[in-house]
């Protein structure tokens, strides 16, 4: 044993000796079961105090590399190589537990997993059926799109200028008058929420949401350190918002047209009232308007169209109408806000897909998009009527619901609190996937978000009977 610690090193004697012994064990020079010299002898050989040796041996015992056998001495542990292997690898579980982004509910993780299983019938998914997507027309339209080198490179921070100009004109039909400079192209509405959460708010800000809420099934604000507060839109709303906000920054998230998961829509009077309350309290509003084109009757005006002060951040998307795979949405907001969000987006993904932006621009400008949406509304209306007929026949005594006014969903309420994790897992075993109410409100054991947009009619009928037999 010729090695001795270096007393001139910036490392302490203790650390040097621990590293030296660990290296000898890892190289196999100190083999499993080998007995170490007594403490006094080690201290003498290494030229250090016995107290230093005691600290070193205690640390290596705690790490599982050494073990003490009473009356026999100190030995290299039988498990030393496994402990060294574990010690050499990052503790990824610890990293994951300490990370910023919150894990989703286990039920939602299972939904995301089983939605990829082709044998599973999806009764709650927020996605159009493949048979409702204009696949052939999309394919044909590619022949009509001309591209140059700039078109397929990185787009400018706010997104394709051509698409933003087209959107500026298209949004006038929604009563929204805005310039291309006040529009940001995003990779779907969820990215818009993520950008807003990290770009416009401080940690511990208050996010007001309607009850129940889609935001409880995703965590863009929660993971940014925001506090979620669910509120009812009643006569006490102004007092509730003022009291809950206190002196903190706040924001109100709403889906005023075809609310997810309920499917309801605010009247123009209710929209104006909410806008007036939030304006008076200086609480910005995020209007998520991704479903409005699927309303069966004429849609009320967007809240953004009533906004005279830049109070409303407006979000739109083609994910619910044209194709979720295109990943194209947009935010309309004051130019200073758009500039801020665009800067963060460039730091995040350097722009949404150039190809997808060109496709959406072509569909909006050619009239193909509006033609498709008109057909789609009729198809969804027929599906809604089909599923409501089944509900009236088979579920009338055990559940209640509102007739669908558009979109994808019926908010089905069972008279008894039956919709729990046990039912969810039981149905999975029978190849039925539901979206239970408790993923939108943790206390809700009565509701299922029932979608008529994805499964074909025969599958809907068959799986509703399976659902009924398990209630």
- The alpha carbon of 98 is separated from its chain's Cα centroid by a whole number of angstroms, namely 18
For residue 238, pLDDT beyond 90: yes
Sign of CA dihedral 29, 35, 41, 43: positive
Mapped onto helix, strand or coil, the DSSP state of residue 233 is coil
Residue keyed to tokens 């002898």 = 41
For residue 417, pLDDT beyond 90: yes
User: What is the arithmetic mean of pLDDT over 223-245?
Assistant: 92
Nearest to 128, CA basis, from 463, 455, 459, 468: 455
- For strand 206-210 and strand 447-451, is the pairing parallel, antiparallel, or unpaired? unpaired
Mapped onto helix, strand or coil, the DSSP state of residue 99 is coil
Residue 105 is predicted with a pLDDT of 86
Mapped onto helix, strand or coil, the DSSP state of residue 320 is coil
Q: Are 241 and 278 in contact (CB under 8 A)?
A: yes
| Neighbour-count burial of 326, counting CB atoms closer than 10 A to its CB (0-12 exposed, 13-18 middle, 19+ buried) | buried
Q: How many other β-carbons are positioned within 10 Å of the β-carbon of residue 6?
A: 10
Residue 2 is predicted with a pLDDT of 81
Spatial distance between the Cα atoms of 132 and 128, rounded to a whole number of angstroms: 6
φ, ψ of residue 450 to 5 degrees: the values are -95, 120
What residues pair up with 347 in beta bridges, in sequence order?
A: none
pLDDT-derived band at 87 (thresholds 50, 70, 90) equals low
**Lowest-pLDDT range of 246-250, 262-266, 309-313:** 246-250
Mapped onto helix, strand or coil, the DSSP state of residue 414 is strand
User: What is the arithmetic mean of pLDDT over 133-162?
Assistant: 88
Q: Which two tokens stand for residue 240?
A: 């509730």
User: What is the arithmetic mean of pLDDT over 110-130?
Assistant: 92
Percent of the chain topping pLDDT 70: 97
- pLDDT, averaged across the chain: 92
Mapped onto helix, strand or coil, the DSSP state of residue 346 is helix
User: What is the arithmetic mean of pLDDT over 18-24?
Assistant: 90
What residues pair up with 314 in beta bridges, in sequence order?
A: 287, 332
Spatial distance between the Cα atoms of 218 and 182, rounded to a whole number of angstroms: 27
For residue 154, pLDDT beyond 90: no
Residues 368-410: tens digit of each pLDDT: 999 999 999 999 999 999 999 999 999 999 999 999 999 999 9
Nearest to 408, CA basis, from 372, 363, 376, 364: 376
Task: List the beta strands (DSSP E) in 78-117.
Answer: none
For residue 110, pLDDT beyond 60: yes
| Neighbour-count burial of 421, counting CB atoms closer than 10 A to its CB (0-12 exposed, 13-18 middle, 19+ buried) | middle
For residue 88, pLDDT beyond 60: no
Q: Are 306 and 271 in contact (CB under 8 A)?
A: yes
Mapped onto helix, strand or coil, the DSSP state of residue 373 is helix
Spatial distance between the Cα atoms of 314 and 334, rounded to a whole number of angstroms: 10
Mapped onto helix, strand or coil, the DSSP state of residue 427 is helix
Spatial distance between the Cα atoms of 311 and 284, rounded to a whole number of angstroms: 5
User: What is the arithmetic mean of pLDDT over 227-235?
Assistant: 92
pLDDT-derived band at 346 (thresholds 50, 70, 90) equals very high
For residue 248, pLDDT beyond 80: yes
For residue 91, pLDDT beyond 70: no
- Residues 6 or more apart from 388 whose CB is under 8 A from it? 401, 403, 404, 410
Q: Which two tokens stand for residue 126?
A: 């927020």
For residue 186, pLDDT beyond 60: yes
Spatial distance between the Cα atoms of 422 and 219, rounded to a whole number of angstroms: 24
Spatial distance between the Cα atoms of 344 and 191, rounded to a whole number of angstroms: 11
Q: Which two tokens stand for residue 218?
A: 């995703």
Does the bond joining 24 to the residue before it have cis omega, within 30 degrees of 0? no
Sign of CA dihedral 9, 14, 15, 21: positive
Residue 199 is predicted with a pLDDT of 94
Residues 283-336: tens digit of each pLDDT: 999 999 999 999 999 889 999 999 999 999 999 999 999 999 999 999 999 999
For residue 257, pLDDT beyond 60: yes
Residue 373 is predicted with a pLDDT of 97
- For strand 206-210 and strand 227-231, is the pairing parallel, antiparallel, or unpaired? parallel
DSSP string for 26-78: HHTSS-TTPBPPPHHHHHHHHTS-HHHHHHHHHHHHHTTSEEEETTTEEEE-T
Residue 209 is predicted with a pLDDT of 95
């Amino acid at each position: 044993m010729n090695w001795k610690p270096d007393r001139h090193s910036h490392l302490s004697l203790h650390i040097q000796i621990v590293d030296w012994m660990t290296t000898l064990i890892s190289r196999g020079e100190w083999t499993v079961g080998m007995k170490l010299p007594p403490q006094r002898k080690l201290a003498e050989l290494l030229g250090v105090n016995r107290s230093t040796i005691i600290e070193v041996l205690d640390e290596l015992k705690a790490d599982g590399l050494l073990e003490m056998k009473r009356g026999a001495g100190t030995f290299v542990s039988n498990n030393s190589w496994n402990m060294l292997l574990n010690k050499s690898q990052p503790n990824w579980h610890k990293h994951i537990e300490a990370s910023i982004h919150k894990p989703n509910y286990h039920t939602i993780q299972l939904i995301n997993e089983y939605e990829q299983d082709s044998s599973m019938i999806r009764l709650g998914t927020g996605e159009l059926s493949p048979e409702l997507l204009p696949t052939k027309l999309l394919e044909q339209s590619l022949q009509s799109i001309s591209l140059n080198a700039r078109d397929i490179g990185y787009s400018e921070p706010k997104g394709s200028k051509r698409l933003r100009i087209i959107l500026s004109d298209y949004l006038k039909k929604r009563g929204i008058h805005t310039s291309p400079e006040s529009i940001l192209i995003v990779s779907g509405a969820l990215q818009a929420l993520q950008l807003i959460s990290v770009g416009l708010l401080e940690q511990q800000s208050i996010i007001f949401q309607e009850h129940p809420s889609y935001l409880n099934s995703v965590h863009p604000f929660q993971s940014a350190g925001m506090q979620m507060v669910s509120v009812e839109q009643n006569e006490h709303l102004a007092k509730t918002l003022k009291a809950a906000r206190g002196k903190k920054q706040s924001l109100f998230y709403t889906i005023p047209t075809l609310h997810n998961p309920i499917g309801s829509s605010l009247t123009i009077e209710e929209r104006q009232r909410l806008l007036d309350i939030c304006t008076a309290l200086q609480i910005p509003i995020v209007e998520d308007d991704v479903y409005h084109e699927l309303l069966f009757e004429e849609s009320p005006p967007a809240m953004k169209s009533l906004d005279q002060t830049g109070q409303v951040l407006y979000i739109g998307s083609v994910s619910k109408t044209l194709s979720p795979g295109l990943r194209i949405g947009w935010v309309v907001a004051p130019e200073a806000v758009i500039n801020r969000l665009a800067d963060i987006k460039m730091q995040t993904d350097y722009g949404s897909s150039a190809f997808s932006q060109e496709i959406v621009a072509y569909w909006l400008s050619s009239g193909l998009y509006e033609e498709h949406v008109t057909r789609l509304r009729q198809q969804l209306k027929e599906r809604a009527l089909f599923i409501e007929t089944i509900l009236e026949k088979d579920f009338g005594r055990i559940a209640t619901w509102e007739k669908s006014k558009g979109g994808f969903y019926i908010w089905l309420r069972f008279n008894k609190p039956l919709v729990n994790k046990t039912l969810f897992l039981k149905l999975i075993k029978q190849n039925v996937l539901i979206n239970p109410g408790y993923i939108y409100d943790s206390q809700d054991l009565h509701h299922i978000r029932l979608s008529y947009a994805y499964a074909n009619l025969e599958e809907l009928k068959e799986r509703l009977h399976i659902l009924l037999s398990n209630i």
